[in-house]
A = this chain, B = another copy of it.
């Protein structure tokens, strides 16, 4: 990697860290590109050489989060292809990659899923999670395109997570705990 490339990566990371801090402190809507640029020590013009829009700063962690979810599903202990078997990996994902406070990728995912102005992007993220979990279930079954049952199992499991995120957004409860409760509800609702 050349010095120039390294500098580029470092600046992008600085901008993301600055944006994240401001979004968490003042809210996504009340933060301007100008403020992000000032905090990252660059000009607004430079900001737009790295990101097309304020929104795009939030989506560098998308691939990692989808990858983490699929890896957890692939490694789950309960090898059945039921909704119950997906509770453990999805709750671990909720705990680690969505609600966890640790990495900036995790904080970004949480922001995207709980900011109304980013609804379209968060819906696409949900669809992506559904598709990738369904694809993993299809791979395990040795089939090609996910069938109706696999598509539905993935949609229900991801709905447990997104319902928990929505409930947690209003109540402020723990997302991992709410996700576990959602999976328990599933059994009751479909009895």
Interface residues in chain A, defined as those with a beta carbon under 8 Å from any beta carbon in chain B? 82-84, 119-120, 123-124, 126-127, 145, 147-149, 151-153, 155-156, 159-160, 162-164, 166-167, 170, 178, 181-182, 185-191
Contacts and interface: CB of A to CB of B under 8 A. Distances in A.
Contacts of A149: 185, 188-189
A160 B152 contact: yes
A167 B189 contact: no
Contacts of A123: 120, 123-124, 126-127
A164 B126 CA distance: 18
A48 to B, nearest CB: 23
Contacts of A153: 189
Contact of A190 (B126, B147, B164, B187): B187
Contact of A151 (B82, B83, B148, B163): B163
A152 B186 contact: yes
A162 B131 CA distance: 13
A44 to B, nearest CB: 27
A82 B182 contact: no
22 contacts: A82-B189, A82-B190, A84-B190, A119-B124, A119-B127, A123-B126, A123-B127, A148-B164, A148-B167, A148-B178, A148-B182, A148-B185, A151-B166, A151-B167, A152-B186, A152-B189, A155-B162, A155-B163, A156-B186, A156-B189, A156-B190, A159-B159
